[in-house]
Structure 1
């Protein structure tokens, strides 16, 4: 009996040792072998970059460069618009600017064990935009490191599962469908503006408004009503917690093996917010499944389409990974739509109001454009199409302040890019602000706000039109771009028809990257009722 116990103990020990050895080998391969092999393939083709450290890659160097080049905050001048510098890429992404100058327009670096090929060469960017093969997909870290925010929804998935999600979600944002949402957008915006009018009526002078906060609430209301059939007040907690999650995750680093699994304070905060958001979304789903909704027409909104798809889950079993449950499918895609349709559009509207307040000439021209098209009527979808000056203002704002900082793709197979062989596992990164602020592409006035450059469209504004990418590029371009443009036009046209704007003396111009490009200290404007 004792001998059998010893034998069993040895077997258990051997099994545990084998499992540990396997884990150690996989860890060392992910940490050392694979990254070194990928870098070697690029180096043999002349692609250089800063030497990485073990475990952290170039994360420490990135933080050091940022600390050295971090500008000192100064008191706002009497005219806050005098402090606005639109060529902010070198100050917000100083490591990329330094490495581009040091190693050329195509270079490599790493965050932890994630190997990145950074491309700022316009011709290579054009090649990327024209590459439609599924061999290029979204990076795996979006569904792992950024999993609490994005899960495996349409923004982060690949292959047949992504195609399955696109088939369900894309039709909701087709142009004809978006036209039917304009009336709801107008209603939501009018409610916000009535509150602004009350504030101006209480004060004979100009009233100061923190527009970024109000626009987040407005954008949340619009996406809730148009896509989920609910008012913002009913989903307010979801949006609030998503913003909190965004702030917490922006403080962390990606690519360090095992770090996201450690039960430290940072991760515990992320896990708590993730559980709360998932739970709240499922509450909304449950109430909608029980018939709680505002719309009584025959058109299904996005949430109903997701529910129907989840109910017929077995019909597309070949497209759906085995670990994706119906609830996860719904929750992940709701989070994706909430995030993409709410946060980025609100930030874009905020930047638009900032530049309109800073440039009275363009504010007056845009207002004349709106009043000429709409008169005293509220905008309709047909009217939005005729607002040419307002469109130019929006396009120029998205050029200078794209809410999404990068186009990122992962090579899911070995690929060839204009003679450059990119091995499977490399992450391709295009810094959008670098392309949008390039003098070579936009001319010597690239750092100035000049909507006139878009008078003949994107092709007339940029030497390589594919380098203008506020909504991404290729077959993974943002599905909601028509929705976002309609929403921006509705918000701006209604604001301009009722108010004159100027920047508050308290405004401090400081673009910051917090997973999205946003004004670090918000945007305060002075409103004067027309």
Structure 2
């Protein structure tokens, strides 16, 4: 889980603050009594010794003195947590816990939170819903109370995003990682790409991609008899990547697919590298993985720049930009105060990563749960057939699928794509009746909030879409306890896109197939960038 925290939140070892300066004053009387060197060599040696002493003191402050100051500060506020371990914090312990938990599948109805977030679970169990754990020498304060969550997500300038780890930037940056004026500008430019009118224009691309997958399954059944077993996870990953390629790059769809494949490889390599990310300077070592990550970074940027150059040439001929994400970003770039080309590249990379992952994860867990709960599969199918029959689903019809929406919300509650979101403090900041010091990270563990029986009831782990029959506010009792896309000013701008794509794919599947779990399926929720099925999702499909 901590490795994925690096990706989502870029939790980092904090920069050394000026807390070291008062300690250096202790040496000044001693320095005053020392005989000053007079030769150039002596001056150079004295300078080197002084620089080394300052560096050593800063290092000591970073790995020990500062963490202990922050630990004492939090304890004075009544916030307890795991004791600090020199340099590594809880990272090594977390890696061991995750490795052990992921070594075997679990039961279908078993709580999977200990499998994907064992340290979070242990910390909350031992120290409560306001506690802390350690990522390297940085304390991470866990908050689970709805009022605290609302305060953190609302006050975007008091609780900024944590600084991005340089290795994470090899994967994507963009609006999700920015703060302040840059975040505000990019958010304003990107929002129109996801307005309802734009989503309506994307529906044909969604239908085309989903329809290709459906046709392939139909051919497999015709060739194999009455049913066919399919690992839907791999199919959905490919399908949602195709959708992102079409909706982001339009006519440059094939080139977009190549970028996705590189981004997918990069994600795996970044996660591997971040296991050692708390070690200073590790990213500079000429390891095979580090070199390959830099190669991919260069190639993705080059490919995106080629696509952008082609689109700009078309725009110069007087042809209007297309209604895809790239067209909207480049249109902003043409005016004063728009994005730079480098900014456009990063936003495209982020859209690939976030858009593809969120929808594929939502769909795969929806199909697994509907395979397990056949009565809800039947109810969803009845609704789809009532609204569309065997006709092509349209945007207005998709927006009226109440039962399907209830099901998707319940899947998001049980299987949120991201386990937690992070914020930080860069000054002393009030949170409820507590004060948090500068230099701590904040973790909002959506998974634990979604699975909290105090918020959702004793049946919290059961699949019950009827919770959402009267909407999200009624289901949550007007508490901030449902956070699949975050909340507040920084809520994910692509949430409607993800829901529309999922409804289209699910409608087409339900129109043509019934499906159930294969005996070969192993239930193994597993965190990569998002919540994946570790050993795939093998389902058996039958033609209706």
Q: TM-score, normalised by structure 1?
A: 0.88
Match in the other structure for 1:427: 441
Distance between the aligned counterparts of 1:364 and 1:190, measured in 2?
21
RMSD over aligned CA atoms reads 2.6
Match in the other structure for 2:7: none
TM-aligned CA deviation for residue 286 of structure 1: 2.5
Does 2:134 match 1:102? no
Distance between the aligned counterparts of 1:513 and 1:428, measured in 2?
20
Task: Name the CA shift for 1:308/1:38 in 2 (closer, same or farther; >3 Å).
Answer: farther
Does 2:273 match 1:259? no
Task: Name the CA shift for 1:166/1:14 in 2 (closer, same or farther; >3 Å).
Answer: farther
Match in the other structure for 2:476: 462
TM-aligned CA deviation for residue 15 of structure 1: 5.8
Task: Name the CA shift for 1:327/1:263 in 2 (closer, same or farther; >3 Å).
Answer: farther
Superposition map of 1:333-344 within 5 A = 333-344=347-358
**Deviations along 1:71-90, whole A, 9 cap, x unmatched?**
6448xxxxxxxx31252112
Superposition map of 1:21-420 within 5 A = 21=53, 23-66=55-98, 72-73=104-105, 83-85=107-109, 87-129=111-153, 131-140=154-163, 142-151=164-173, 153-230=174-251, 232-251=253-272, 252-253=274-275, 254-291=277-314, 299-312=322-335, 315-316=336-337, 326-420=340-434
| Range moving further from structure 2, 392-401 or 465-474 | 465-474
| Range moving further from structure 2, 261-270 or 241-250 | 261-270
TM-aligned CA deviation for residue 28 of structure 1: 3.4
Gaps of 5+ in 1: 1-5, 75-82, 321-325
Contact 1:65 / 1:94 at 8 angstroms: preserved in 2?
Answer: yes
| Range moving further from structure 2, 500-509 or 222-231 | 222-231
Task: Name the CA shift for 1:188/1:72 in 2 (closer, same or farther; >3 Å).
Answer: closer
Query: 1:190 aligns to what SS in structure 2?
Result: helix
Contact 2:167 / 2:270 at 8 angstroms: preserved in 1?
Answer: no
TM-aligned CA deviation for residue 421 of structure 1: 0.7
Contact 1:458 / 1:465 at 8 angstroms: preserved in 2?
Answer: no
Distance between the aligned counterparts of 2:94 and 2:70, measured in 1?
21
Distance between the aligned counterparts of 2:89 and 2:49, measured in 1?
29
Does 2:503 match 1:503? no
Query: 2:503 aligns to what SS in structure 1?
Result: helix
Query: 1:181 aligns to what SS in structure 2?
Result: helix
Distance between the aligned counterparts of 1:137 and 1:476, measured in 2?
10
Distance between the aligned counterparts of 1:15 and 1:309, measured in 2?
51
Query: 2:224 aligns to what SS in structure 1?
Result: coil
| Range moving further from structure 2, 264-273 or 445-454 | 264-273
Q: TM-score, normalised by structure 2?
A: 0.86
TM-aligned CA deviation for residue 402 of structure 1: 0.8
- Report the count of equivalent residues: 504
Task: Name the CA shift for 1:342/1:440 in 2 (closer, same or farther; >3 Å).
Answer: same
Gaps of 5+ in 2: 1-37
Does 2:476 match 1:444? no
